[in-house]
Amino acid sequence: MNRVAIVTGGAKPDSIGCAVVKGLRREGCEVVVADLYEAGFAALHDCLCVKTDVADPAAVEKMVLKTIQTHGRIDVLVNAVGGSWGITQQDLVASPPRGFRGLTNCELSDWRTILGANLDSAFYCARAAAPHLKKQGGAIVNVASVAARKGIPPGSEGSSGPYAVAKGGIMAMTRQLALELGEFGVRVNCVAPGVVASGRFNRVSQISKKDHGPEGHLGTIPMGRVGTVAECAALIVALCTDDTSYMTGVIVDLNGASYAA
Ligand SMILES: NC(=O)c1ccc[n+]([C@@H]2O[C@H](COP(=O)([O-])OP(=O)(O)OC[C@H]3O[C@@H](n4cnc5c(N)ncnc54)[C@H](O)[C@@H]3O)[C@@H](O)[C@H]2O)c1
């Protein structure tokens, strides 16, 4: 029996989630991709793609039901949707907004939208998938960010204060879910990337190159380079497999030594 994995945010071809989808397919999983970006679905013809706004709990319930109707089980959930922009149907392919949106100067609507896509979404998906994961055990992997460790300095483009707070919530949720699901053999871990060269990063770096020169923020990364989506996905996939079968409740930093917890 093949394992069945749900990956949220796997439809954009240059996303971390998409690299996770490919990695889980190589591991022999049936993969369900839950994403708003329908244009990416054709390339994922070997997956069940379900158009889903993961910030909408009713849409998440429907996506989980469709997964069960199609495959009959859920073994893995990867919550990869996230970001400060490009996270609603309206702004999916938008450019990053200019200017820094901190906690004290963002719009209330920024707070709601960013918390919705980054934090509420993972809660809705974990809650809807949990009864199915509990049946035979499995793994949940959440994606946080170094932003939750360091905060976002005022002036940073392409990120925001609410984003850092939401990712801090993801870290706490990981620990909480690990406690609640441990007895059912469901492991829950989290990856906290630094800068990863996804399509999202490339769009932000166009701006930072303009503002800060070609080196951008690289000077803050001791390894002298950003991470790749493949490096990030390899870690996430490892946390989904039995290679990490006694590991749960853990946040793994992946940031080229730009921060150590
Ligand atoms: N790229 C980085 O440098 C970086 C750094 C730290 C953390 N992260 C985190 O890694 C994860 C993946 O980031 P990425 O760079 O691959 O982003 P991305 O923007 O390239 O991909 C995000 C995917 O999520 C989908 N999506 C967005 N909003 C959605 C919604 N409401 N419902 C369903 N699907 C939605 C998009 O269509 C896309 O396929 C995110 O949680 C992000 O916060 C990324």
Atom of ligand 1 nearest to the CA of 167: 43
Structural domain contains residue 215: yes
Q: Is 53 in the pocket of ligand 1 (CB under 6 A)?
A: yes
Distance 180 CA to ligand 1 centre (A): 26
Q: Is 200 in the pocket of ligand 1 (CB under 6 A)?
A: yes
Answer whether 157's CB lies under 8 Å from 211's CB. yes
Structural domain contains residue 195: yes
Decide: pTM greater than 0.95: yes
Structure tokens at 145: 């960010």
Structure tokens at 22: 């490919």
Among 198, 203, 218, say which to mutate for ligand 1: greatest number of ligand atoms within 8 Å of CB.
198
Tens-level pLDDT at each residue, the chain (261 residues): 689 999 999 999 999 999 999 999 999 999 999 999 999 999 999 999 999 999 999 999 999 999 999 999 999 999 999 999 999 999 999 888 888 899 999 999 999 999 999 999 999 999 999 999 999 999 999 999 999 999 999 988 889 999 999 999 999 999 999 999 999 999 999 999 999 999 988 888 876 665 554 445 667 899 999 999 999 999 999 999 999 999 999 999 999 999 988
Structural domain contains residue 259: no
Structural domain contains residue 113: yes
User: Rg of the chain's alpha carbons, rounded to an integer?
Assistant: 17
Angle at Cα 134 formed by Cα 133 and Cα 136, nearest 5°? 80
Structural domain contains residue 261: no
**Enclosing domain of residue 178:** 4-254
Structural domain contains residue 124: yes
Walk across the sheet containing 138-143 and list its strands.
48-51, 30-35, 4-8, 76-79, 138-143, 186-193, 251-254
Q: How far apart are alpha carbons 225 and 37 in whole angstroms?
A: 29
DSSP 8-state symbol, 196 = B
Structure tokens at 232: 């990030």
Structural domain contains residue 260: no
Structural domain contains residue 71: yes
Among 8, 38, 87, 174, say which to mutate for ligand 1: greatest number of ligand atoms within 8 Å of CB.
87
The residues facing 100 across adjacent strands are: none
Q: Which CATH number covers residue 141?
A: 3.40.50.720
163 labelled catalytic:
yes
Alpha carbon of residue 205 to chain centroid: 20
Structure tokens at 40: 């990416």
Structure tokens at 220: 């803050």
pLDDT digits (tens, 9 = 90+) for 16-44: 999 999 999 999 999 999 999 999 999 99
Q: Is 120 in the pocket of ligand 1 (CB under 6 A)?
A: no
Q: How far apart are alpha carbons 86 and 79 in whole angstroms?
A: 16
- Provide the number of structural domains found in the chain: 1
Structure tokens at 202: 């490339």
